[in-house]
Copies of this chain bind each other. A is one copy, B any other.
Amino acid sequence: MKQLLIAAHGSRRESSNDELKALVAKVSANLGVAFAGVELAFLEFASPSIESVLVDFFNGKTTEVVVLPYFLSAGNHVVQDIPREIHKVLDQWPDKKITVLPHIGALDAMANVIVEACKNDNH
């Protein structure tokens, strides 16, 4: 059973975390049958943590997790912090599989998102 984990920074501002929850609900509605579900986790300032969500997954029936780092650039959070959280869990669950996608800012589709937003701008 495969799960998607969206790994975000987290904010002291509750409305920012709520924005992410709304995004995850949209992803969930469109994710299709390849994934059993999608969960959101945070590095800082909000819960649940990445580690705790991964542990919950692996205590259940999940055998594989795909992690999407919801960050615009490859800073320390993407390069060091998320991999560190993942390796902490894999050390305890060596038979499980965790794949990390490119951070969202690195996806080719981002340029198209900007172009389309400009086309939809009627001002």
CB < 8 Å: which of B11, B72, B102 contacts A70?
B72
Residue from A35, A112, A117 with most neighbouring chain B CB atoms (10 Å): A117
Copy total for this chain: 2
CB < 8 Å: which of B34, B108, B112 contacts A119?
B34
Contacts A75-B11, A99-B123, A101-B121 known; A111 to B32 CB distance under 8 Å? no
> Which segment of A23-31, A50-58, A86-94 sits at the interface?
A23-31
* Contact between chains at A117 and B26 (CB < 8 Å): no
Partner-B contacts on A (CB < 8 A): 4, 6, 8-9, 11, 13, 15-16, 19-20, 23, 26-27, 30-32, 34-35, 66, 68, 70-75, 97, 99, 101-102, 104-119, 121, 123
